[in-house]
Amino acid sequence: MAHALDRHVALVGFMGAGKSTLGSQVAERLGRRFVDLDRQLEHSLQQSIPEVFERRGEAGFRVLEAEATLEALRNERPAVLALGGGAVEAEAIRRALREHALTVHVEVDAGTAWTRAGGAGRPLASDETSFRELFDRRQPLYRDVGDAVAHDVDGIVLAAAGIVVEAGLLSRLGEVVPQGELEVVADATVLGLHRPPLDAPVYALRDGEEAKSIRAVERLWRELRLERDGTIVAFGGGCTTDAAGFVAATYLRGVAWVAVPTTLVGQVDAAIGGKTAVNLPEGKNLVGAFHWPVRTAIDPELLETLPAVERRAGMAEVVKTGLLAGEAFWEREAAELVRACAAYKAAVCLRDPHERGERAVLNLGHTFAHALEAAGDYRRPSHGEAVALGLLAALRLSGLETTAVEEVLQPQRVRVNRDAAWAALARDKKARNGRSRLVLLEAPGKPVTGVELPEERVRAALDELIAE
């Protein structure tokens, strides 16, 4: 299975892997119920697992475990489930996992597992030799049933969103794209620098917003030769993934697609969350669709060729994400920074896949940014520069420190018409029934949406971003 948008996230793995602890944290991040099957069984029987083993034997326990696990898997409301360590030995459970869940193997080595679980009164963990034998017997089952392997909360969240982040992943792209027919839609400039190692036709798109035009999309609609069960692979920055994703959403009424983002903006933002779009002469992103890629393959090494100006554009979204998460993601090295930001956005989007509410937090700094971009006719400031300024305004209105934004992004006041910027901000507001859509922070890591502030304060904050 590719992602857990409308299915359970099921955690499997050996005793001591941390399924219960990680499971409850993942459930919290995804806003889902958490079902810990061992605990649930103990609760419903009013007996501890060792007591159940003693009274009914292992076979008796397995029957009860299978009943409870199958029932949880057949429940339609997507949850996060932590399965008992031995549940995967039952064929019926493995089948139900394939049908109803995205299964993540929470991996642990035998030594660590023994240190954590050995001798702790667990029925199958009293003697180290048989513990290790059991470990060896179950490994192939976890591997077989797992759609992904993870070791931490971010890893499970990324797996749930169908995202793989790994340095050097491009060279192994063939392993993460679906089987079957593929066609690649790629940014022409990026193709001159990197080549996806796939045996598939390649369609080049002009770089930049040019790609997100009806004309470019129409060309692809007419030239692609893929059948309904084929997959489009989008290779490039946010413009490429937005356009190719939109083509995938519409071509033959929708085919699967894989996003392979090559810019920092793409890896931490544009290629995550399933929004695709093209532009009209009337405005940006006016036509589009929600169409979640079956896989998002992120190789942070691709960023080594990225021009500095594009890196800065991405850093604005990195700082935004770090402020939302309450962690200084921007201080981490490239691969870690990308992974943390991608996991943060993935969790928000899994909670709110169709942007009905919570996802609005991702607009932190963007109301001001859009006003400045509109006032500059979308030529200057760039989106990244505008977001840096917008974050400054959002932090000031939140009464918070602006040092990180100032040091990392070095926002420069822009020369645009003040009235035009204010009019654009007011238009943005009117478009949403006059309700202000400001996203502010109660504290780093605590975003609040829909904040209404007196007009003078908002206008003053906007004015402060404008030169002269």
Ligand X SMILES: NC(=O)c1ccc[n+]([C@@H]2O[C@H](COP(=O)([O-])OP(=O)(O)OC[C@H]3O[C@@H](n4cnc5c(N)ncnc54)[C@H](O)[C@@H]3O)[C@@H](O)[C@H]2O)c1
Q: Is 193 in the site for ligand X (CB under 6 A)?
A: yes
Question: Does 370 participate in catalysis according to the annotation?
Answer: yes
Q: How far is the CB of 284 from ligand X (least distance, A)?
A: 6
As a whole number of angstroms, the distance between CA 462 and CA 420 comes to 11
Distance of CA 13 to the CA centre of its chain: 23
Question: Does 383 participate in catalysis according to the annotation?
Answer: yes
Instruction: Specify the residue for token string 């990680």.
Output: 22
Catalytic residue, candidates 32, 100, 212, 370: 370
Q: How many residues bind ligand X (CB under 6 A)?
A: 29
CB within 8 Å of 398: residues ≥ 6 apart: 440, 441, 442
Contacting range for ligand X; rule: CB under 6 A; set: 43-51, 201-209, 322-330, 374-382: 201-209
Catalytic residue, candidates 7, 100, 105, 275: 275
With vertex at residue 267, the alpha carbon angle to CA 376 and CA 437, rounded to the nearest 5 degrees, is 50
Identity of the amino acid at 72: A
Identity of the amino acid at 255: V
As a whole number of angstroms, the distance between CA 443 and CA 323 comes to 9
- The residues that bridge with 35 in the sheet, in sequence order, are 81
Q: How far is the CB of 232 from ligand X (least distance, A)?
A: 15
If the CB atoms of residues 213 and 263 are measured against ligand X, the closer one turns out to be: 263
- In 219-308 the beta strands, taken as DSSP E runs, fall at 231-236, 256-261, 275-280, 283-290, 295-298
As a whole number of angstroms, the distance between CA 102 and CA 23 comes to 13
Q: Is 305 in the site for ligand X (CB under 6 A)?
A: yes
If the CB atoms of residues 66 and 349 are measured against ligand X, the closer one turns out to be: 349
Using CB under 6 A, pick the residue from 31, 111, 208, 326 that binds ligand X.
208
Question: Does 317 participate in catalysis according to the annotation?
Answer: yes
Catalytic residue, candidates 253, 282, 433, 468: 253
Q: Is 189 in the site for ligand X (CB under 6 A)?
A: yes
Q: How far is the CB of 388 from ligand X (least distance, A)?
A: 14
Contact 197, 173 (CB under 8 A): yes
Question: Does 355 participate in catalysis according to the annotation?
Answer: yes
Catalytic residue, candidates 366, 373, 385, 396: 366
Binding mask 403-442 for ligand X (x = CB under 6 A): ----------------------------------------
Contacting ligand X within 221-240 (CB under 6 A): 236-240
> Taken in order 44, 46, 49, 53, is the CA torsion positive or negative?
negative
Contact 158, 339 (CB under 8 A): yes
Using CB under 6 A, pick the residue from 285, 402, 436, 449 that binds ligand X.
285
Contact 186, 212 (CB under 8 A): no
Using CB under 6 A, pick the residue from 166, 207, 301, 358 that binds ligand X.
207
Catalytic residue, candidates 212, 339, 345, 396: 345
Q: How far is the CB of 275 from ligand X (least distance, A)?
A: 4
| Coil/strand/helix, residue 253 | helix
Q: How far is the CB of 313 from ligand X (least distance, A)?
A: 5
Question: Does 284 participate in catalysis according to the annotation?
Answer: no
Catalytic residue, candidates 295, 339, 363, 429: 363
Tell me which H or E stretch contains 81: strand 80-82
Using CB under 6 A, pick the residue from 38, 187, 299, 385 that binds ligand X.
187
As a whole number of angstroms, the distance between CA 217 and CA 50 comes to 61
If the CB atoms of residues 249 and 306 are measured against ligand X, the closer one turns out to be: 306
Contacting ligand X within 248-267 (CB under 6 A): 262-263, 265-266
Question: Does 227 participate in catalysis according to the annotation?
Answer: no
Q: What is the edge-to-edge ordering of all strands in the sheet holding 256-261?
A: 163-165, 295-298, 256-261, 231-236, 182-187, 202-205
Identity of the amino acid at 254: G
Contact 203, 240 (CB under 8 A): no
Question: Does 275 participate in catalysis according to the annotation?
Answer: yes
Q: For residue 127, what are its two tokens? A: 């003697």
Q: Which of 186, 265, 182 is nearest to 229 (CA)?
A: 182
Using CB under 6 A, pick the residue from 299, 310, 373, 385 that binds ligand X.
310
Question: Does 75 participate in catalysis according to the annotation?
Answer: no
Catalytic residue, candidates 183, 317, 373, 385: 317
Query: Which residues would be at the binding site for ligand X (CB under 6 A)?
Result: 187, 189-190, 193, 207-209, 212, 236-240, 242, 262-263, 265-266, 269-270, 273, 275, 285, 302, 305-307, 310, 313
So which residues are the catalytic ones?
253, 275, 317, 345, 355, 359, 363, 366, 370, 383
